[in-house]
Structure 1
Amino acid sequence: MPFTRIPWRNAFLAIGGAIGGLGLRVFAMKSRDTDAMQPSLDIIECGKDAEFDIVFVHGLNPKGTANHTRDTWTAELNGQKVFWPKELLPTSTPNVRVMLLAYNSNIAWNASIAGVREHATTVMNLLILKREESPNRPIIFICHSLGGLVVKQALLLEDPKFQEAINSTRGLVFFATPHRGATGNAAQIGFICADIVRTIQQEGKNTLPELLQKDSPLVDALARSFEEKLNQFHIISVYETRAMKPHGIIVGKTSAVLDLPQFETQIDIDRDHSTICKFPSTENWGYQQFIGYLVRMMQSITSTEEKTRKDQALKKLKDNPPRDDTQFLLQAEQLAAWYAEHKQYEVSAELNERILERCDKNPDLGTNNASAVRAAYNRAFALQQLDLYSDSEQMYRLAITGRQARTGNEDDPSVLNARMQLAEVLYLRSQFAEAERELEDVRSRSSTEDRKTVLDCQASLGFLFQRLERWEDSKSLLEPTFQEMKLQLGPTDEKTLLTQHRLAFVLQSLGHNDTSETLYRDLLQKRMQKNGAADYDTLIIMRDLAHVLQKRGDLRKAEAFCEKASSGLKKLFPAGHVDIGWTDSSLARIRRALDRLNQA
């Protein structure tokens, strides 16, 4: 069939999964192109014991190509095509089932175009069929361009049969999705093209190109409706920063992000609208950025799902506690341990108090029952973290009594461990002499074979002497403790690093600046490798190293380290935080010393 050319105008359609150049030709529909219109949801990879369903959703298909569904996500590397949802993603996230959605998205040549709602209904119908065996598995949608609007509309559908899948949706990834309509002149080009399509196909008004119009009513309405559901989702928005000739940037940052810091992570990738979701290898920087945030999203979803289950179990335990004490203690202990591990100490303290009350009321259990003794210790620890030191001290003493009764041995490691914790609380209550007596007695009672208890006790006692400015006493304990910890626990064990930091500070206070600097530099390198440059402990080491360098007269390096520490701490804490104040005071002293040096 010959084609018709309209010579007076040239237009491009800037929507969907690719940017299609339309020379305003009307071609005969090739038979293979009809395949591009058939809705399907194919499982392309399924990890063992999959914990997530990841669904890839392409945008519109302006060229009407048969392979558009896969091509949207396919890059090229050394002449080879890389379909990364199948070839790369499973190696980075093995616990997923990956699905590829295809739907009728041929806006240019299909005479019976479904609206966004119809596309959304198609998505959900296909999805629920694939999830019959795992209807509650969390879903993450990964969308390109206008495919993101289709998914947003799908999540707003009210049909009861879709609600299970909608409620299971936890994560959304938007690659260049125009949430507010496109910027620049891309929308105008879309309307020109739409006018030509309507003229050639003699259709009525086609609303889909309006989605790219700045402040499009349909996009605005969708955004307003979607805002009501945002607290249900973890969101990653990836926006383009490279222009497409001759269009420029198709969907700019203003349009491609939701500006919702509580729910959204924004990523800029140096790609244009078409290549933004095409990754050639796991070494590619864009892929590494994306996959890093995707893994974090999945971890956060898993944590949230677990917290929801624990909160439900907690409510059930409070509202309808088991009458059987054994069942109650088992459930309460498990929940208390989980909440303590996740630093929800108020809940942990309350649960352990309930355990103690239950044991106290049952004469067959009593306060020396194993569950009661564990609860006393765990409640003491939770109260200590909440700065309720008086109550914490009382609970530690109860735990010590219980452990002594159960073991029949005052020198049992479990008893000595509780006494060390008690000494820490006594120190925090400014009862320094009593804290020292506890630690000295624990040290004398510790078996020489129980090196862990001995080392912990020596480190605690050395820290106590440090805080009391008994520098030589502190040094005499921390030096051998640090050396043995390196051998017994390893040089990067958390206890070893903490003891190294305390020893460096003590040596600095004694004026042994050369040795102190060596320890600080070694410690800084280990913290950078283990925790990263933005970590709190790393920043505090920078500040302390700056102080040593100042003492040694190396003011320029001291200023540089202190500036980094100050800048990093201000990103972690609000203005007025004590560590920011101390660091800025140190920086001011260094700069005054530099000014005096420059004036001399």
Structure 2
Amino acid sequence: MMDGFLSRPKKRKTPPNPQAHPNTDTSPSENPPIPSFPDGVKVLHDCPDATVDICFVHGLTGDRESTWTADGQSVPWPKTLLPPKLDKARILTYGYDAYIVRKGVASSNRLIDHATNLLNDLTTDRVCCNAPSRPIIFVVHSLGGLICKQAVLLSRNNPDTHLRGIFNCTTGIVFMGTPHRGAWMADWAEIPASALGLVKSVNKSLLEILQTNNQALELIQVNFWSMIRERQKANQPPDVTCFFEELPVPRVGKVVSKESATLEGYNSITIHANHRDMVKFASVEENGFKRLLGELVRWVSQLGKEN
């Protein structure tokens, strides 16, 4: 589940200003600066006459840009490789604080909190662009897939009518290494801090839900699967494709098994990479990119036929 695989966010370099909060009783030493994190929606490629939004959601320990940036590259591939292939797509990436172990303070947000933020932030972005009813496709990695599923479920029959748009407009979801049935990742918290080079601060709520047979994870899966089957019987979207990793992470093994990463009855495709690298493409010639692009192009072309 480790997008950045032991990577850490950079701390703010600006020293705290003691005059910035004159009514604060605590000193800077008592409240060390919390590392900044790029959260929320970021537009990687805008398109004034877009017919679809494609939103990327990263996984555990990743962020909205580095997760999708190949080693040796400086820019995420959805920004450079996708627009020439999908010229009517607006490309978005979503960030949330998914660092469960790091120096300082780990976010205490639960999965449902991240999902609620995704639903609200994405809805706001689309309203501001005057496109609340534009079809949307999600490309989600690892933990991001669980957050996406929960966000779609939260959108369905939401008491706030403006938040129902995400469910109504989701036309496809590409799951990449998503642990629909849990993963070993919860054991990561047991790795000695010295081995990681970190002073541990652990978001236990995220770790617990990643345990195999976790009831909350199972409930999300049951509700999502029920919704998908209901929509499928009515010949309604979303379409679903699952990608799973072929290679192990060195000294770790496969992070998400094929059995956990796939959904019965839906297309399952392998990518010849490990869990971290399966979402990092440096060239349009990489077969993993071609396989993912094939799904996106097919779904977008179907939208054109419907319209």
Taking structure 1 as the reference length, what is the TM-score of the superposition? 0.42
Q: Which has the higher helix share?
A: 1
Find the counterpart in structure 2 of residue 209 from structure 1: 207
- Is residue 47–residue 90 contact of structure 1 (8 Å, CA) maintained in 2? no
| Structure-to-structure mapping, 1:61-210, within 5 angstroms | 61=61, 68-76=63-71, 79-109=72-102, 110-132=105-127, 133-157=130-154, 158-160=158-160, 161-182=162-183, 186-187=184-185, 189-193=187-191, 206-210=204-208
In 2, distance between residues paired with 1:241 and 1:167?
A: 33
What is the root-mean-square deviation of aligned Cα atoms in Å? 2.7
Over 3 Å counting, the alpha-carbon distance change for 1:226 and 1:217 in structure 2 is same
For residues 558-592 of structure 1, give each alpha carbon's deviation from its aligned partner in whole angstroms, at most 9, with x where no partner exists: xxxxxxxxxxxxxxxxxxxxxxxxxxxxxxxxxxx
Find the counterpart in structure 2 of residue 268 from structure 1: 270
Find the counterpart in structure 2 of residue 249 from structure 1: 254
**Letter aligned with residue 213 of structure 2:** D
**Letter aligned with residue 121 of structure 1:** T
| Structure-to-structure mapping, 1:289-368, within 5 angstroms | 289-303=291-305, 305-306=306-307
Q: How many positions carry a matched residue from both structures?
A: 269
In 1, distance between residues paired with 2:121 and 2:224?
A: 22
Cα offset for 1:100? 1.3
In 2, distance between residues paired with 1:46 and 1:54?
A: 11
In structure 1, list runs of 5 or more residues that go unmatched.
1-14, 63-67, 307-600
- Is residue 179–residue 255 contact of structure 1 (8 Å, CA) maintained in 2? yes
Cα offset for 1:159? 4.3
Find the counterpart in structure 2 of residue 31 from structure 1: 12
- Is residue 181–residue 213 contact of structure 1 (8 Å, CA) maintained in 2? yes
- Is residue 111–residue 147 contact of structure 2 (8 Å, CA) maintained in 1? yes
In 2, distance between residues paired with 1:228 and 1:98?
A: 29
In 2, distance between residues paired with 1:129 and 1:21?
A: 30
In 2, distance between residues paired with 1:168 and 1:84?
A: 25
SS at match of 1:170: strand
For residues 247-299 of structure 1, give each alpha carbon's deviation from its aligned partner in whole angstroms, at most 9, with x where no partner exists: 11110110101112xxx321101000000011111111211121112111222
| Structure-to-structure mapping, 1:142-541, within 5 angstroms | 142-157=139-154, 158-160=158-160, 161-182=162-183, 186-187=184-185, 189-193=187-191, 206-230=204-228, 231=231, 232-260=237-265, 264-303=266-305, 305-306=306-307
- Is residue 234–residue 301 contact of structure 1 (8 Å, CA) maintained in 2? no
**Letter aligned with residue 84 of structure 2:** T
Cα offset for 1:165? 2.1
Over 3 Å counting, the alpha-carbon distance change for 1:207 and 1:280 in structure 2 is same
**Letter aligned with residue 58 of structure 2:** H
- Is residue 39–residue 122 contact of structure 1 (8 Å, CA) maintained in 2? no
Give yes or no for the alignment of 1:17 onto 2:3: yes
**Structure with more relative contact order (C-alpha pairs < 8 Å, separation 6 or more):** 2
Over 3 Å counting, the alpha-carbon distance change for 1:269 and 1:202 in structure 2 is closer
Cα offset for 1:122? 0.8
For residues 281-319 of structure 1, give each alpha carbon's deviation from its aligned partner in whole angstroms, at most 9, with x where no partner exists: 11112111211121112223444x44xxxxxxxxxxxxx
In 2, distance between residues paired with 1:180 and 1:187?
A: 12
Over 3 Å counting, the alpha-carbon distance change for 1:125 and 1:271 in structure 2 is same
- Give the percent of matched residue pairs that are identical in Structure 1 and Structure 2: 32
Taking structure 2 as the reference length, what is the TM-score of the superposition? 0.79
In 2, distance between residues paired with 1:296 and 1:112?
A: 38
In 2, distance between residues paired with 1:226 and 1:244?
A: 29
Cα offset for 1:19? 2.4
Cα offset for 1:246? 0.9
In 1, distance between residues paired with 2:81 and 2:163?
A: 30
Displaced runs of 4 or more, over 6 A: 194-197, 200-203
**Letter aligned with residue 128 of structure 1:** T
In structure 2, list runs of 5 or more residues that go unmatched.
14-33, 232-236
SS at match of 1:237: strand
In 2, distance between residues paired with 1:188 and 1:51?
A: 39
In 2, distance between residues paired with 1:81 and 1:112?
A: 27
Find the counterpart in structure 2 of residue 314 from structure 1: none
Find the counterpart in structure 2 of residue 586 from structure 1: none
In 1, distance between residues paired with 2:75 and 2:106?
A: 33
Cα offset for 1:180? 0.5
- Is residue 194–residue 206 contact of structure 1 (8 Å, CA) maintained in 2? no
- Is residue 194–residue 209 contact of structure 1 (8 Å, CA) maintained in 2? no
Find the counterpart in structure 1 of residue 58 from structure 2: 58
Cα offset for 1:219? 1.4
Over 3 Å counting, the alpha-carbon distance change for 1:86 and 1:287 in structure 2 is same
